């Protein structure tokens, strides 16, 4: 069964304190892994897509990496405005239902000034 | 403005009533999706559509009906609302099935 597990559930950082969020997955062939940011009362906002092991993507203070079993979202020198829930989702590459995203439950990040 | 719009943003209704949530996108994306978001479950797919007049079930379709007569609209109907359908509902769209999905800001639905 396809599954996505994110850890930790919640993370509190001081401004400037770098850290990483984890997304481990099991899926019948990975078509793509997606990272989203969700602010309270808003819909998820797309950040990155990763397609193959070894791939990396960067945007400002965020860097996403991918292995065959997990993805990391590294946050370098975070600022309070980085506070949000970060969601990970995978899309399978075969076996039917290849357009569906399977989401993890997210990591709630709080960055204190 | 271009984007994806959901209405209403908030809705309170009673068990047994029919309620329709609206979703409109201006990108002319082929794919549209409906999710519900509940604590402890994350986002779960209800239904999706690959094009006008083509719809398919997701993970949790029971109690919901969708239609897609026009590319830009994808309404979700709860035919006889139950308390277990109290949730936040998100609509999303993507240009192709493998492309990132872009989400609306959700409808917060409470069923009393």
Q: Do B97 and A98 touch (CB under 8 A)?
A: yes
Size of chain A, expressed as the number of residues it contains? 113
Percent of chain B with pLDDT over 70: 98
Q: Do A101 and B101 touch (CB under 8 A)?
A: yes
Residue A96 confidence (pLDDT) above 60: no
Please, what is the average pLDDT of chain B?
A: 94
The closest alpha carbon to A40, from B36, B102, B88, belongs to B88
Do B30 and B92 form a contact (C-beta atoms < 8 A)? no
Cβ contacts of B58 on chain A, cutoff 8 Å: 100
Matching residue, tokens 């609509």: B91
Residue A61 confidence (pLDDT) above 60: yes
Q: Between these two residues, A100 and A68, which has the higher pLDDT value? A: A68
| Ramachandran class of A16: left when φ > 0, alpha when ψ lies in -120 to 50, beta otherwise | left
pLDDT confidence bin for B21, thresholds 50/70/90: very high
Q: What is the mean pLDDT of residues A9-36?
A: 95
Does B106 lie at the interface with A, CB-CB under 8 angstroms? Answer: yes
**Which pLDDT does position A2 carry in this prediction?**
85
Q: What is the mean pLDDT of residues A64-78?
A: 97
**CA-based nearest residue in chain A for residue B58:** A100
Q: Do B40 and A89 touch (CB under 8 A)?
A: no
Within 10 angstroms of residue B104's Cβ, the number of other Cβ atoms is 23
d(CA B102, CA B104): 7
d(CA A22, CA A14): 19
Residue A52 confidence (pLDDT) above 60: yes
Percent of chain A with pLDDT over 90: 84
**Which pLDDT does position A72 carry in this prediction?**
98
Q: Which of A99, A103, A104 should one mutate to test binding to chain B, selecting the residue with the greatest count of B CBs within 10 A?
A: A99
| Backbone φ and ψ of B25, nearest 5° | -125, 145
Q: Which of A53-62, B39-48, B86-95 has the lowest mean pLDDT?
A: B39-48
Q: What is the mean pLDDT of residues B67-80?
A: 96
Q: Do B106 and A91 touch (CB under 8 A)?
A: no
**CA end-to-end span of chain B:** 34
Q: What is the mean pLDDT of residues B75-91?
A: 97
Q: What is the pLDDT of residues B35-68, one digit of tens each?
A: 999 988 889 999 999 999 999 999 899 999 999 9
d(CA B45, CA B48): 8
Show the CA angle centred on residue B59, arms to residues B57 and B61, nearest 5°: 50
d(CA A14, CA B4): 35
Which of B40, B97, B104 minimises the CB distance to A43?
A: B104
Q: Which of A44-48, B22-26, B92-96 has the lowest mean pLDDT?
A: B92-96
**Which pLDDT does position B97 carry in this prediction?**
76
**Which pLDDT does position B20 carry in this prediction?**
98
Within 10 angstroms of residue A76's Cβ, the number of other Cβ atoms is 14
């Amino acid at each position: 069964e396809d599954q996505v597990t994110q850890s930790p559930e919640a993370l509190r950082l001081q401004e400037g304190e770098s850290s990483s969020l984890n997304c481990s997955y099991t899926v019948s062939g990975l078509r793509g892994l997606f990272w989203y940011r969700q602010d309270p009362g808003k819909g998820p906002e797309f950040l990155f897509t990763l397609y193959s092991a070894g791939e990396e993507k960067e945007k400002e203070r965020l860097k996403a990496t991918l292995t065959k079993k997990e993805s990391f979202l590294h946050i370098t020198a975070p600022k309070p405005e980085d506070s949000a829930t970060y969601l990970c989702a995978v899309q399978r590459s075969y076996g039917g239902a290849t357009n569906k995203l399977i989401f993890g439950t997210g990591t709630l990040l709080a960055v204190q000034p | 403005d271009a984007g994806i719009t959901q209405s209403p943003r908030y809705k309170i209704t009673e068990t047994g009533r029919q309620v329709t949530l609206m979703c409109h996108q201006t990108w002319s994306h082929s794919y549209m999706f409906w999710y519900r978001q509940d604590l402890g479950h994350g986002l779960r797919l209800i239904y999706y559509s690959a094009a006008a007049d083509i719809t398919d079930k997701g993970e949790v379709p029971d109690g919901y009906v969708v239609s897609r007569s026009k590319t830009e609209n994808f309404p979700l109907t709860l035919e006889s609302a139950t308390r277990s359908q109290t949730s936040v509902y998100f609509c999303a769209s993507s240009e192709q099935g493998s492309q990132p999905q872009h989400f609306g800001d959700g409808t917060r639905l409470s069923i009393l």
